[in-house]
Structure 1
Amino acid sequence: MTDTVKNKIVVKDLCKSFDGVQVLNGINLEVKTGEILTLIGPSGSGKTLTLKCILGLIKPDSGSILLDGKEVSDLPEKERVKFFRNFGILFQRSGLFDGMRVWENIGFRLSQQPGMSKSDVKEMAIKKLRSVGLSSDVADLYPAELSGGMQKRVGFARAIAGDPAILFLDEPTAGLDPIMSNVINDQIFNNVRELGSTVMAITSNLLTARIISDRIAMLHKGRVVWTGDVREAAHSDNAYVSQFWNKRKDGPIQMSVSTISA
């Protein structure tokens, strides 16, 4: 089996700088078809920027991004619209449209497609709501009428609407209590396995990383410093992974701390 068949996403030597500051310094990643790869690392390590480059929201300075073996880092605008149809995205703050009802949020992308009636979109939205543990009664509510956990589930329902081949999950349990976080973790894992989607996730929640991931990639200062099976992360002898996974203050990852003098 060749790499272009085995790997859904391949990132090679991805670099990006802002105002002379190098933020991505040669990112190399491979995401196998049907697997969940989770990016971990301290704040500012390049996780979200890597995702934005893959999505085409930010153009990298150099490097290659392959999707199913096709270079997508410099697609023309017309092709990029078609390219985005492969993706489902869960934003860190859910990103729901305040002025739309829940079912309209979930079915937003599908409603833009020719031949999709309003009733078809709503029926699909209700089906996705049920898949994330919410009842059909929620469909006619507005985002402001939902709790944080419900908003996150609606955001995930929107991400999987249309059964996308690729999912990007940006901090899927951020701001949630431990119980709701576990609910979301289980729903992500179960839905992704049912759909067979390929997933790239970002999380600062190590419990989420343990539950949903097949593999882990550790980023530090714009580089991938370790990649491995999620079961290996807790026992890795890699100094960066060991410090981060065990939440130790001392180690190669140094966080700047400002002090205020009296």
Structure 2
Amino acid sequence: MTVATPTAPAVKRIDAAAVAARTTPRSSLQETRVQIFAMAWRALKKMRRKPEQFFDVLIQPLLFTAMFAFIFGGAISGSVSDYLPVLIPGILAQTALTVCMATGVQLREDMDKGVFDRFKSLPMARIAPLAGPMVADLIRYFIASTLTLVTGLVIGYRPGGGVFGCVAGIALTVAAGWSLAWIFTWLGTMARSAQSVQGISMMIMFPLTFLSNAFVPAETLPGWLQTFVKINPVSHVVSAVRDLFNDGAVTAEVGWAVVGCVAVVALFAPLAVRSYSRKM
């Protein structure tokens, strides 16, 4: 049995293609922007063809808001109406974490299926396949946040912050979800499978959500746990959204939440891009 070897012209063509790939100029800022939006459009088309990806966006906010309000409202605040100003911002934070967790899982699935092998052969910015789906996910965060607020309004929540407070609170929730998604994107490039990404993400999501002031006042917790709650970034986001929703006030908590979002992006976005570049 003989093994065919490539002819000399074929070898030259392969070498020329490899040299051209290595010497392809970097994408300009304008080209990078276009490529990111192209990847975002691809992600949106995937969502349209797989409606199950919207389960955590459409069903979870409705289910969790109603369930937590009627089960814990009387026990924690004395009534459902008194508990809603505490609950709604907490549900927003939980929903944002759950939705952005799916970003890393879907990224790992694409890498396992070889989709990114095609991307690396194209003359595009390395950040485009990462940032594109995250831009598309902004729509998912907005839908989930809006549905949570609407569900609260239906069962009796009346935000004192008015339209400005609600819009600002939803915008902050979307920004927080987008920034936290970089953590799960980094995990998606580091883990070995989509299942492991989901498992690690759940271990991160539950402590950040339930060991915060999202569902109960921090003052009711043990002293050692209050210390963790006070430094938990989710607690700052929840407190900021409460100030916006209930009072329409731009307080120091809002500033800390914004600073935290910027810090998370500044730390984990480069880590995600570097890890993705090594894998590719």
TM-score by length of 1: 0.26
Bigger share in strand? 1
TM-score by length of 2: 0.25
Bigger share in helix? 2
